Each structure stands twice: as structure tokens, then as C-alpha cells.
A = this chain, B = another copy of it.
Amino acid sequence: MSMAQMRSLLTSFDLQTGLSPDRPSIQRRLSAMAGMFYNEARYAEMLAEEDSLIYEFYDMGVPAQAGEIAFGTSITYPGRVGDEYFMTKGHFHTILETGEVYYCLRGQGMMLMENPEGRWEAQSLTAGAAVYVPPRYAHRSINVSPTDPLVTFFAFRGDAGHDYGTIETKGFRKLVVDKAGRPDIIDNPRWKEA
């Protein structure tokens, strides 16, 4: 059977780096994160110095259908903007009633979640931790290690879709910041009601 006839997929993701030799990643640099970090002055200073890579992930392009499973790895690099750790933008699923699982391969981090009704939850990501993001919860990966990338393998329904706009507009209710060398969950001073 030739590759072209195959419906199954085989893709490698390095267990340490999270990177795949088989296809390009989608990269989010500091310049793509305008408005996401609460210390805007520090964000501007850092961006003037270097447009650092904040995170990258893979989109395997499985069909956007309810019976398919989208999957890949996500790698969030270590660093901070002021006292706020590097993180992903975070998003709701367009089909809100769909969940997602993240299996942490390496690093130290947190999964921050909130639903439209105002509930929020946070779980620790360490190597070997599987975190289940239930349906209806926006979710963001946060790297709290000073040195190591945060590497996760994720899976969600093929048709779930990504709603980035809600978080870009409103932000998350909570932020995760460094406080004397340890992660601390604080209220987001810039959070807006819809």
C-alpha cells in the first residue's frame, strides 16, 4: 500500500524537545502576543530588543469533522515579561462543548482554565501529568520553569476549532506570576467583563 493510499498517519514528535522532523510548526513570537502580558511597558522594552519565540505547536490538518481527533505537541519556552511567565495565548474552542487532553512530556508549568460563567481552575503540568480540560473551558499553558521548555502532547475533536478572539479581547480572569521564585495566581488587573 503506498503512502498516498494510507488514511492513517505516522508522525514523530521528539519526547524531549517536542519538535517534529516531519512537518513545520506554527510559531508564536513576542510580536504576536501584543496585549497578552499585563506589563505593557516591559513588553514593549523586550520586543524592542528581540522578537523571541514564545511558543510553537503543530496542526496535523486532520479533517475538521466530529469523528476525527486533532493532535500534536505544544512547546512553551521559559522566560518572563516582568513577573509574568511566558505562556500561550489561550483559547476557547469554537464548539464550546468540546474538551481537550494535555499530556506533559517535560517541564514545569500550569494549565489555567476558565469558563464563560466565571469559574476558573488551574492544574500543575509536570512530566507525566495528564491534564483534562473539560468542555466549555478556555485554556492556556504557562511555563513556570526558569530553564526548561514546557512540552505537552494534546488531543481534541477535529471540528472543535479555535476561538482566540474572546481571550484576546477580555483576557483571562487570573494571571500566573513569579513571586519570590514561585508561581502565584493573581487577579488580572486588566480583565474586562464582556
A residues sitting closer than 8 Å to B (CB atoms) are 1, 6-15, 60, 62, 65-69, 71-72, 95, 97-101, 103, 105, 111, 113, 119, 121, 123-124, 127-135, 137, 153, 155-158
Contact = CB atoms under 8 A, between A and B. Distances in A.
A157 B65 CA distance: 12
A10 B71 contact: no
Nearest to A9: B132
Nearest to A103: B153
Nearest to A95: B67
B137 A9 contact: no
Given A69-B155, A121-B1, A130 B99 contact: no
A13 to B, nearest CB: 6
For the complex formed by this chain, how many copies does it contain in all?
2
Contacts of A100: 69
Given A8-B134, A121-B1, A155 B15 contact: no
Given A71-B132, A99-B158, 4 more contacts: A10-B123, A10-B129, A11-B129, A69-B155
Nearest to A11: B130
Given A71-B155, A153-B153, A157-B157, A12 B130 contact: yes
A8 B71 contact: no
A62 B103 CA distance: 16
Contact of A128 (B13, B66, B111): B13
B13 A113 contact: no
A77 to B, nearest CB: 20
A111 B11 CA distance: 13
Indicate the member of A95, A132, A134 with the most B CB atoms within 10 Å. Answer: A132
A99 B68 contact: yes
Given A67-B98, A67-B135, A111 B14 contact: no
